[in-house]
Amino acid sequence: MSVTQQAIAVGQGFARPRPVRRAWFSGIHGADYVWAIAFALPYAAIFFAFVVYPIAFGLWMGSDPALYDELFADPRYLTAVVNTLLYVGIGVNLKMFLAFLLSGFFMRKRWWSKALLVIFILPWATPALPAYMSIHWFLNGQWGMLNNILYTLFGIDGPVYLNEHWMGLGANISAYIWKTLPFWTIILLAGRMSVPQELYEAAEVDGATGLRRFAHITVPMLANLYLVCTLLDMVFALGDFNATYFVSGGGPAMSTEVLATLGIRYAFTVALPRLGVAAVMSALPLLIPLVILLMRKLRMSEGQL
């Protein structure tokens, strides 16, 4: 029997509960060890060449305590912190939840699902700069498309969205979700596809309804992936300045600034890059627990299935 045939045979027997045994249970020996090291080398090389020094340098850049005094004295800083918490909290969690639901939606076998998926990933594929600028113009109070639609369809004069703090923040978050939702949906979709069909079929035979199958198979299987994605996306969202910069520009009156845009302003508008790094690093107390949590999640990777 060839390896592939054996694999299929083994895959068939998957639904039966079995104690998980590791492929190289008794440890890697000899030649295998060499292979293992060889496989690990490429990433290790990248890490030592391109991560160690830059991260160390970056941490050094933000390490001067005087920078933080200056940072806290800036009246925009506190607003930026609150906005960042909202931006990350809502932007990430709402998006991941939607991604989870939509991944289920896209699992359905419809002839138009595939086509829809291609349309769906358009926001992700479009370059950020023009896309966000387009949203900024879309929301313009005077000649933006949204208000034009409202006027044409309903005859109402829409408000000036970006003149209000909450609408501006909402616009930024929505724009960010719009742009990145497809990405996470695809990841979760891939995750859903890894859940073996046998489990669903076995459950159906056992008489479980759709909702129970969902709660007892889908959710546990995807839980870890969902968590990892959420944590990673929080890290990404913390560093995202494009959405805020181009959609609301931090306005009105700098009330929608986030730490990333504040940092970029410090770094490139007043040539104080160290202060810029300090701005994002002031989020480290939030970031470090996330990273540690991620590390633990990844470490606990034995016997998940």
Of residues 13 through 52, those in contact with another protein by CB under 8 A are: 13-14, 18, 20-24, 27-28, 31-32, 35-37, 39-40, 42-44, 46-47, 49-51
| Euclidean distance between CA atoms 227 and 220, whole angstroms | 11
Q: What tokens appear for 58 in the block?
A: 């970056």
Residue type, 123: P
216 binds another protein (CB under 8 A): no
Q: 246 to 285, contacts with another protein by CB under 8 A?
A: 248-254, 260, 263-274, 276-277, 280-281, 284
Cβ nearer to another protein, comparing 93 with 194: 194
Task: Choose between 44 and 219: whose C-beta lies nearer to another protein.
Answer: 44
Beta carbon nearer to another protein, 86 or 165:
165
* Positions 50 through 89 that interact with another protein (CB under 8 A): 50-51, 53-55, 57-59, 61-62, 70, 73-76
**Contact between 219 and another protein per CB under 8 A:** no
Closest approach, Cβ 207 to another protein, in A, equals: 17
Burial annotation 134-160 (CB, 10 A radius, 16+ → b, else e): ebbebbeeeebeebeeeeeeeeeeeee
CA distance 279 to 73: 12
Decide: is 100 part of the binding site for another protein (CB under 8 A): no
In angstroms, what is the minimal distance from the CB of 89 to another protein?
Answer: 17
Cα–Cα distance, 298 to 283 (Å, whole number): 22
User: Shortest distance, CB of residue 228 to another protein, whole angstroms?
Assistant: 6
Would you list the DSSP string of 103-143? HHHHHS--HHHHHHHHHHTHHHHS-HHHHHHHHHHHT-TTT
CA atoms of 122 and 304, how far apart (whole Å): 34
Could you tell me if 228 and 299 are in contact, meaning their C-beta atoms sit under 8 angstroms apart? no
For the CB of residue 302, give the shortest distance to another protein in the complex, in Å. Answer: 9
Query: Judged by CB under 8 A, does residue 104 bind another protein?
Result: no
CB of 74 or CB of 208, closer to another protein: 74
CB-hemisphere CA count at 13 Å for 218? 18
Q: Interaction with another protein in 115-154: which residues (CB under 8 A)? A: 116-131, 133-138, 140-145, 148-149, 152
Total of residues contacting another protein (CB under 8 A): 149
Tell me the CB-side half-sphere exposure of residue 274, using CA atoms within 13 A. 12
Nearer to another protein, 1 or 205 (CB): 1
